Amino acid sequence: MEAMACEIYDDAASRYGLVRVGGDLKPATLLAAYANGIFPWFDEGWPICWWSPDPRAIFELTDGGLYVSRRLARTIRSGKFQVTINRAFAAVMRGCADRSEGTWVTESMIEAYTRLHQLGIAHSVETWRDGELAGGLYGVALGGFFAGESMFHRVRDASKVALAYTFDRLRQRGFTLFDTQFVTAHTARMGAVEIPRAEYLARLRRALKVKTSFVDG
């Protein structure tokens, strides 16, 4: 992060997790940020804002770490949705951006994370219904660390199915840290918990040393 020419807001960092404002969204900058527990989040027309909240929200990659209701489990077993990986990355990002209340998934973020996707670092999980994109999520994978960035649905349960698939895949592949950044009402219902930033950073350092990948090759 040393190369980022931007202002530091220590008071805001202690209260909300805002640590810097400015800089760029080049791959090297984003990778350095994630490796230090920092991520970008800002609205259209704002300067780039960088965050490291305390506490930090995660899904524990353990049995019961993700809450799957009986109804959702039946939906998953039914085969109602087809699940794919990296088939429609840009479309998933644009689905996440398509919100009536506004979005932080700006054009500059779509461009930046598409570059990470092309480098094999950012990934999407898609859910399909009758050949149409019904929902999905995208995130960043480094070592045994996965940062879930955003998800969306156009059909009921489509994003939850994508999340459950992602959770199982991370466990199967030996990931140790599933970051969800902030707790929302939705992620809390699905089992997200908060841990102190110091604990998160210690776990992040260990996760980055894990040799695994989200996809083969």
105 vs 84: CA distance, rounded Å: 22
Annotate 15-53 with b (16+ C-beta within 10 A) or e (fewer).
eebbbbbebebeeebbeebbeebbbbbbeeeeebbbbbb
Annotate 138-175 with b (16+ C-beta within 10 A) or e (fewer).
bbbbbbbbbbbbbbbbebebbbbbbbbbbbebbbebeb
Q: Which tokens belong to 115?
A: 């570059």
Q: Domain limits of the chain?
A: 6-54, 57-208
Predicted confidence at residue 104, as pLDDT, reads 79
User: What phi and psi, each to the nearest 5 degrees, are found at residue 65?
Assistant: -70, -25
Interval 146-189: pLDDT, tens: 999 999 999 999 999 999 999 999 999 999 999 999 998 889 99
Instruction: Please answer whether residues 82 and 128 qualify as being in contact, where contact means their C-beta atoms are separated by less than 8 angstroms.
Output: yes
pTM of the predicted model as reported, rounded to 2 decimal places: 0.92
Which DSSP string do the residues of 145-163 spell out, in sequence order?
EEEEEEEEESSTTHHHHHH
Close Cβ partners of 28 (under 8 Å, ≥ 6 residues apart): 3
Let me know if the fold of 6-54 is the same as that of 57-208.
no
Predicted confidence at residue 202, as pLDDT, reads 97
The correct CATH number of 57-208 out of 3.65.10.10, 3.30.565.60, 3.40.630.70, 3.20.20.110 is 3.40.630.70
For residue 168, the one-letter residue type is D
48 vs 86: CA distance, rounded Å: 26
Pairing of strands 145-153, 177-181: parallel
DSSP state of 15: H
Predicted confidence at residue 1, as pLDDT, reads 36
Which DSSP string do the residues of 157-203 spell out, in sequence order?
THHHHHHHHHHHHHHHTT--EEEEES--HHHHHTT-EEE-HHHHHHH
Domain 6-54 fold: Alpha-Beta Plaits (3.30.70)
Direct distance between the N- and C-terminal alpha carbons of the chain, in angstroms, rounded to an integer = 29
Q: Cis peptide leading into 55, omega within 30 of 0?
A: yes
Predicted confidence at residue 4, as pLDDT, reads 38
* pLDDT < 50: residue spans in the chain: 1-9
Q: Which tokens belong to 135?
A: 């929902």
